[in-house]
Amino acid sequence: MTSVEHESGSAARAVARLRTWMINGELAPGTRLSETALTGPLEVSRNTLREAFSTLIEEGLLVRQPHRGVFVATLSPAQIADIYRVRALLECSALGQAPTDPPRAEGLRAAVTEAERAAAAGDWRGVGTANMHFHEQIVALAGSPRLDAWMRQLTAELRLAFASAPDPSALHRPFVAMNAAITASYEAGDAQRAADQLRDYLLTSERIVLGNLP
């Protein structure tokens, strides 16, 4: 492997880890990202980290402010509404057209169980992370690595929108039961009903998230 290929691979891994931290709620909107603090945990050079930052800036997850540095993005209401439009097209199509053989439901059920356990423990950030996993599993039903990668970006952006909620319990609690209901419909062999439930779910979620914006 050449040094260029090694650096490129390291940058891609850094991008994936930073994106995962956002999905898990570990990086809040407005957080300044210090090169000095991140090169060690990410095991990359400053040049590689800057390459990772540039990729995430292109994706809209980070912003560079002149003379101040790189920050986690804060989404506008218009950006959030656009994310939900894309999600409705992507997720509802993937779910409604997916074959309903039992193995395909395992990822959905695992994410529901993850959310239920986190809710029982009062871990609402964990519930939010499980919710992101649930929606990634819906898109995974399409069997497309490209769509999976695109969904990872969308869920990272969405988690930034969740961060504005003053009460994480009120934000996430209703969707634990909704995820379970969608999964039950899919497990019962009614993918179209599950897709219809998901469409209603997304409309409700969008209203709640936009209503929590400062």
Per residue in 190-214, pLDDT (tens digit) is 999 999 999 999 999 999 888 877 6
What is the structure's pLDDT at 2?
Answer: 41
Q: Flag whether pLDDT at 40 surpasses 80.
A: yes
Is 5 a residue whose pLDDT tops 50? no
How far is it, in rounded angstroms, from Cα 187 to Cα 121? 26
Helix (H) or strand (E) holding 70, with range, is strand 69-72
55-82 mean pLDDT: 93
CATH assignment of 3-72, among 3.40.50.2300, 1.10.3720.10, 3.40.50.720, 1.10.10.10: 1.10.10.10
Provide the pLDDT for residue 8: 55
Mean of per-residue pLDDT scores for the chain:
91
* Number of neighbours of residue 197 by Cβ within 10 angstroms: 21
Question: Which residues in 72-109 are b (16+ Cβ under 10 Å) and which e?
Answer: bbbbeeeebeebbeebbebbbebbbebebeeebbebbb
Give the residue range(s) of CATH 1.20.120.530 domains in the chain. 77-211
CA 208 to chain centre: 17
Q: Per-residue pLDDT for 7 more than 60?
A: no
Rounded Cα distance, 76 and 66, in Å? 20
The pLDDT value recorded for residue 159 is 87
* 0.75 exceeded by pTM: yes
Q: What is the structure's pLDDT at 187?
A: 94
Q: Which CATH number fits domain 77-211: 1.20.120.530, 3.30.1370.60, 3.40.50.80, 2.40.40.20?
A: 1.20.120.530
What are the residue ranges of helices labelled H in the chain? Answer: 3-23, 35-42, 46-58, 77-96, 102-120, 124-140, 145-162, 168-187, 191-211
- Which residues partner with 33 through β-bridges? 70
pLDDT above 60 for 3: no
Residue intervals in the chain for CATH 1.10.10.10: 3-72
